[in-house]
Chain A
């Protein structure tokens, strides 16, 4: 017997090929990032080649996501594409991946937005390699969180996002990037610390010494302990969401990050907070979450109203979009807190729709700011005559974000309001007020940017280029598709939400 044989081999589990699709979605970006390290960087042609490679990798991930979704629609169990491998055996943690309807929909959004982010990153001229490597590592972190069914794994992927995001803001952002990046890092690390604390308390207090989400679902904990854990999870996720008063990192980062990164931030990273609340707090700690729901609803309503007022007073276009996203996430929180199938379906649909429309708005805002040479709304005006394509795309995206019927945002917001109203008869109208204010702000902003007298200093403004247009149209077509036919995603989401809620208390 040699040394290698002496080491007990991990018991081999049979993993069928379809299961590897999920691992592929998580690890293909990381592998591509490693591959990218070996590319030469001297000339423009080299940089272009790196960008093509990154596009190829993220397109492959999107392909895998679509393939998974195609095979996913006739699911019956709780989780599909499950993959379990022994990993940290001694600590009771395994490499356990799996998706349900909720995470499948979020994975599709993630794969799409990352592809568009890479496509939109044509302006990165310096340190191109570093930029794409960081972006791809970030994608591994985001997809990993959506796919994890093990708390430790979930936490590791969550934590994996902090440093790439920090460096992306700190090295490629706007003039005040360093302050924004440090703020993001400090708050995000604090949130991760709470997340780890919650996970460790759960781990040590549960009767079964394991990190596995599915196993821990059936564990019974003392009520006080479960409430504490639910609180810790909630705060950790709510910081990301972001809720008032922990939102300033998001607004600053939104204003300073490069446009594709800001799109990922608004379209995905904050959605992870909502996903976490729905997956862990609502799905795993239903009873404990029910105890803290009063506070959660108050936080949600304050978040919606605060961001609506702040958006009204905001002159910087990108900060304004940050507040718009924040108000929608406040509404998502309200939907999650209602914990009825209708509202949670609405919360998930709102996250998907907002991911698409906010992504589009952020990209368009960056294009507009670049052309108008200012981010101040006061200094803009009359761009409609010079940017025909941009105007049309912006108007449609703003309508989608405002919840215009026929576009994706409407259905989600309607479902949240309908679902939450019976349980929260005061909070829901208040939140609705905030949402309407945000819709008004969006319309007013559109008017201020594109109509009225043209500002003098604009001179000749280029319209959107072909690539910008293609990105915009692809996002927009999905917004329309999801608005007209939400059932294509929502059937499986609904199935999983019902399963999640009916599995009872954790």
Chain B
């Protein structure tokens, strides 16, 4: 096996790496151009992905596998990253002077996400996830928005390290039980040598615990504190879209390659986690008075919902997961983009202060309503299709009770979100707000996300075909 022979096939990743280098140089000599340069790098990576890919390519002795699954995930991650960067171009508080190198770290984080999607070895999985995480720590600390940002960043760092610890324990167990670092080989070994089943279950639990933080399953939303001085929009949206997509891609590959052949009842473990996360997330979201916190907790419910797809990995689960993640990215961008932009302009993120939003900024209110409907999974917007396919996967996997809990959660969530929509559209405003002036970048990004939310139903044909392609590649 040639070690570096096909390295050029990884040109999307190389584009991002080169782009990050250029951005760091530009930050010294032409600080105003860094965001544009980063966007160019992202577009370049996208084009490289669309034209250079041929078949399944393995490099570095099997550390990374660029297969159809990775390509589909990469497309989602790159699109989410580009839209996030576009939306956050003008996310600058009065008196704030953002570090010009920020887009460089953003590119490196995206690079980590892309690598994670194609990582096929325990070591490369860990390294790419850490590359993603470290750059997010840096991005949130670089916000220079006072002590709120620093403490939020440190809190995130501490949790990230703890979860990495769990991840390493789990990986060490997998390696110890199988003697392999390659995910597929480890899975084959675990399935054939009949190791201690309790140990395999423990390894899965540790890995799930380690991933819980990255999948968005934990009620630790470090960025919800101090919304005016806290974490910038780009970090919030990036973590909630591209970060979650990358984590689910890795976890999906891990589950398929390593655990789906073993005799442990891994779908049952995941089903229980999914049911708890969905219900707890939605209940927590219902009790919130801040719309940002409500979105944060509903993120837990979304992650739980996505986990439902893992109950039927061998058949339609992966396709359902991919479609769900596309819907989730679009929705996350629309929801967080509108809420953060509006909260900045009214200096509050309380749900009751959304009253009159439809009057002061009708476009923003419409985008928020669409995103919330999609989050709830109400037809006919994007979220419905993702949830429908995931529910189908759960039923096909034999987990009818989980599907029933899922449906109950849709109703529960719909109640909470309709409450917010009612406030934004029908309650009489408490105070007058000047129409929110949005920068062209965020307007374009939110409009694109909204259009995607509305029209995803129409595009389900090609989208599902792409998802099935990714699934087929992952399952061989």
A residues adjacent to B (C-beta < 8 A) = 1-4, 6-10, 85-91, 95, 152, 155-156, 159-160, 170, 178, 193, 196, 200, 204
Contact = CB atoms under 8 A, between A and B. Distances in A.
Contact of A204 (B316, B378, B395): B395
Contacts of A6: 53, 68, 71, 469
Interface string B51-90: 1011100000000000010010001000000000000000
Contacts of B51: 2-3
Interface stretch (B151-159, B245-253, B456-464): B456-464
Given A6-B68, A10-B462, A89 B411 contact: no
Given A7-B465, A7-B466, A90 B380 contact: no
Given A7-B469, A8-B468, A8-B469, A88 B53 contact: no
Given A6-B71, A8-B469, 20 more contacts: A1-B55, A2-B51, A3-B51, A7-B462, A7-B465, A9-B465, A10-B461, A10-B465, A88-B389, A88-B464, A89-B468, A90-B320, A91-B392, A91-B464, A95-B461, A152-B388, A156-B457, A159-B378, A160-B380, A170-B426
A2 B457 contact: no
A9 B469 CA distance: 10
Contacts of B380: 156, 159-160
B385 A88 contact: yes
A193 B54 CA distance: 45
A156 B385 CA distance: 11
Contact of B379 (A7, A9, A155): A155
A87 B461 contact: yes
A85 B461 contact: yes
Contacts of A89: 461, 464-465, 468
Given A88-B464, A170-B426, A159 B379 contact: yes
Nearest to A87: B461
B464 A90 contact: yes
Contacts, number: 70
A178 B49 contact: no
Interface of B: 49-51, 53-55, 68, 71, 75, 316, 319-320, 378-380, 385, 388-389, 391-392, 395, 411, 426, 457, 460-462, 464-469
A9 B466 CA distance: 9
Nearest to A160: B380
A377 B395 CA distance: 57
Nearest to A10: B461
A91 B389 contact: yes
A7 B461 CA distance: 11
A45 B313 CA distance: 59
B233 to A, nearest CB: 26
A2 B53 contact: yes
A4 B50 contact: yes
Contact of A90 (B54, B71, B319): B319
A87 to B, nearest CB: 5
Contacts of A91: 388-389, 392, 464
Main secondary structure of the interface of B (DSSP, over half): helix
A204 B466 CA distance: 25
A56 B268 CA distance: 57
Contacts of B75: 3
A3 B49 contact: yes
A89 B316 CA distance: 11
Contacts of B457: 156
Q: Which 10 A-B pairs have the closest CB atoms?
A: A156-B380, A3-B50, A159-B379, A7-B466, A88-B460, A87-B461, A10-B461, A90-B464, A156-B379, A8-B465
B52 to A, nearest CB: 9
B316 to A, nearest CB: 6
24 contacts: A1-B53, A1-B54, A3-B51, A3-B53, A3-B71, A6-B71, A7-B469, A8-B465, A8-B469, A9-B465, A10-B462, A86-B461, A88-B460, A89-B465, A89-B468, A90-B316, A90-B320, A90-B464, A91-B389, A91-B392, A91-B464, A156-B457, A159-B379, A160-B379
Contacts of A204: 395
Nearest to A203: B392
A453 B467 CA distance: 73
B387 to A, nearest CB: 11
A160 B469 CA distance: 31
Contacts of A196: 379
Nearest to A2: B51
B467 to A, nearest CB: 8
B22 to A, nearest CB: 25
A3 B466 CA distance: 10
A178 B389 contact: no
Contacts of B468: 8, 89-90
A152 B388 CA distance: 10
